[in-house]
Chains A and B, each alone.
Chain A
Amino acid sequence: DQQVKQNSPSLSVQEGRISILNCDYTNSMFDYFLWYKKYPAEGPTFLISISSIKDKNEDGRFTVFLNKSAKHLSLHIVPSQPGDSAVYFCAASVTDKLIFGTGTRLQVFP
């Protein structure tokens, strides 16, 4: 039973445009949501998080939106850069456990 789902395995975006990565969850008890970025041969790197009591959090080019009624969160990257090409994982936490989605591979082309 996949509690955190990323239904798009890949996304291709032109440099300078917006990248939107999506994530759905099923457990209404999740209290934090996080996004991680992963390059090959490296561990995931924390990008941005949002508490379940908020609906938006922004950090530079990265903004995370949370829609609790739809159990959906998204990561917006504006503007997208070639260095953003990586696998992005969303994750959700509940009672000290952190549950990850299966990841979306983002490719930003010139």
Chain B
Amino acid sequence: EAQVTQNPRYLITVTGKKLTVTCSQNMNHEYMSWYRQDPGLGLRQIYYSMNVEVTDKGDVPEGYKVSRKEKRNFPLILESPSPNQTSLYFCASSFSEGHGYTFGSGTRLTVV
């Protein structure tokens, strides 16, 4: 089944403790992206990647890192999480620009 898999689904952590949210897709898509969803703000792009080793900042990249060493994986790294990064995070992948992104099921992160 074609899908985007992100883990974990739920995570509660403390301020400053480094964490990684994994994302993997099995569709051989070139485009991958991370979004956060917050009430009243919709979905905001954090980082995106057009291919292996090619990444760029989205609208809200501060406090996040990404890497794209393999085509299928696009982990999101929070080096020193803070409470304002408490949010619902989505990973997505796409064949190309203009084609619909396929989204993962989301990761609900709480930073206390």
* Interface residue stretch chosen among A60-68, A73-81, A98-106: A98-106
How far is B60's CA from A100's CA once the two chains are assembled, in angstroms? 13
- Interface: A34 (CB within 8 A): yes
Count residues of A near B (Cβ-Cβ below 8 Å): 25
Which residue of A has the minimal Cβ distance to B49? A96
- Interface: A58 (CB within 8 A): no
Residues of chain B within 8 A of A93, CB atoms compared:
97-98
Q: A43-B4, A43-B105, A44-B90 are in contact. Are A97 and B45 (CB under 8 A)?
A: yes
CB pair B50 A96 closer than 8 Å: yes
How far is B97's CA from A51's CA once the two chains are assembled, in angstroms? 11
Which residue of A has the minimal Cβ distance to B56? A96
CB pair B98 A32 closer than 8 Å: yes
Which residue of B has the minimal Cβ distance to A46? B100
How far is B102's CA from A47's CA once the two chains are assembled, in angstroms? 11
How far is B90's CA from A36's CA once the two chains are assembled, in angstroms? 14
- Interface: A49 (CB within 8 A): yes
How far is B35's CA from A102's CA once the two chains are assembled, in angstroms? 13
- Interface: A27 (CB within 8 A): no
- Interface: A31 (CB within 8 A): yes
| CB of B71, distance to nearest CB on chain A (Å) | 16
What are 5 A-B pairs at a CB distance below 8 A? A31-B97, A34-B98, A43-B106, A46-B102, A96-B56
How far is B41's CA from A101's CA once the two chains are assembled, in angstroms? 8
How far is B43's CA from A44's CA once the two chains are assembled, in angstroms? 10
